[in-house]
Amino acid sequence: MIVDSYRFLPRSFRPMYEGRGLFPGEEAPVWAPFEKRLATARIALLSSAGIYIKERQPSFDLEREQSNPEWGDPSWRSIPADLGAADIASAHLHMNDDDIRSDPEIALPMRLLSELVAEGEVGSATSEHLSVMGYQDRSLEGWQKETAPALVASLRDLQADGLILAPA
């Protein structure tokens, strides 16, 4: 089956996404070979649902977005892999997050990944997973200049062999 990429998108939003083509400067293929067996590899997760740790981390800055609608908070959060669902909060003005708050696994399946580790399907999970808020200004300048290098440094520290990214 071929997924309809616009099934749940309001028709008036479609031109914002469809046929926009390449991101400037991002034309060439990029490829890092996955060299290990999955059963010996360490896997990290990244969600763009605006997840953060309730009462221990600052929320993503939604107030600034309210006053400057073209702007989105480019910062990121590190989420401990063993954090309980009750300690997870989310901040994202572009979707209803009721389902994520009732079951954060639909955006960041940390418990499910650790089950696959326990079953031997995956070697290990990183001790922390990564979180961003996916609504960004069109240039992605904040992500490009600061967030992406910081995420890469964190993934190296965590010794991740591969990353699963899930846009919200």
Partner 1 sequence: MPVLARWIEAAGIPTVVVTMMPAVAEERRAPRIVGVEFPYGHAFGMPGDRNMQRRVLELALRVLAGAKEFGTRVDIDIEWPVPLRDAYRAWQPKEASPIVRKLLEALRPRNSEASP
Report the site for partner 1 in 15-54 (rule: CB under 8 A).
Answer: 17-23, 26-27, 29-34, 36-38, 41, 43, 47-49
46 neighbors 147 (Cβ within 8 angstroms): no
Q: Does 8 bind partner 1 (CB under 8 A)?
A: yes
Q: Which of 110, 59, 109 is nearest to 81 (CA)?
A: 110
* Residue 94 touches partner 1, criterion: CB under 8 A: yes
Q: Say whether residue 142 binds partner 1 (CB under 8 A).
A: no
Query: How far is 2 from 66, CA to CA, in rounded Å?
Result: 36
- 98-117 footprint of partner 1 as x/- string (CB under 8 A): -xx-xx-xxx-x--xx--x-
- Cα-based torsion angle of the residue sequence 87, 131, 142, 34 in order, rounded to the nearest 10 degrees: 160
CB distance 133 to 142 below 8 Å: no
- Size of the residue set binding partner 1 (CB under 8 A): 78
Residues 71-90 that bind partner 1 (CB under 8 A): none
Is position 146 an interface residue for partner 1 (rule: CB under 8 A)? no
